[in-house]
Structures are given as structure tokens and as C-alpha cells.
Amino acid sequence: MPHKSQHVKGKHLSRRKRSKEKQRVSSVATRQQPIAETREPVSRPSAPTPVAKRVAIQYPHMAKELWTIGILAVIMLVTLVVLALVLS
């Protein structure tokens, strides 16, 4: 097999790709001219902003999930009590 598999990509770039990436970034940085920033004071809007309405989100399976969590919690608690009595 003369070539590496192209299917698996590594986490890190090879040295050749890394050097090409550095060259590309440096050439882009030299071509761009600096932009002068002018900051203007931000004025507050005169009209009051509308308040978003709260929408009730419904979870159809929430009661069943809470029931299952409760059962698992009771089983773990009982197991801990039994272990504490047996091991003491």
C-alpha cells in the first residue's frame, strides 16, 4: 500500500500544512490595511422596549420521568441503609 488512507483525519495538521497555513495568514495580514475606529456615544432608545411574553412549555412525559427518578432514589436510599446496617 503506497499511500496512507485518506479516510481517517488526525487531530493535528502536518508540518507542511502548518507552514502553508502560517504563510497564508501572514500574507492576508499584510494585505489588509488598518481601519481607524471611531466610537460614538450610544443613545438610549426613547420608546420603551416591549417585554417578551412568557410561554408555558409543556413536557408531556415529565410526570412519568419524575416518578421513575423517585423510584430510583428510594431504591438507592434503601440500598444504602441496608449496606450501613450490614457493614456496621
In angstroms, rounded to a whole number, what is the distance separating the alpha carbons of residues 35 and 53? 41
Where do the structural domains in the chain lie, given as residue ranges?
62-88
Supply 65's cell numbers: 420521568
Say yes or no to pLDDT of 1 above 60: no
The helix/strand count (H/E) of the chain reads as 2, 0
List, in order, residues 6 or more apart from 44 with CB less than 8 Å away: none
pLDDT in tens, 30-87: 666 666 677 777 776 677 777 777 777 788 889 999 999 999 999 999 999 999 999 9
Q: Among all chains, which residue has been given the C-alpha cell 417578551?
A: 52
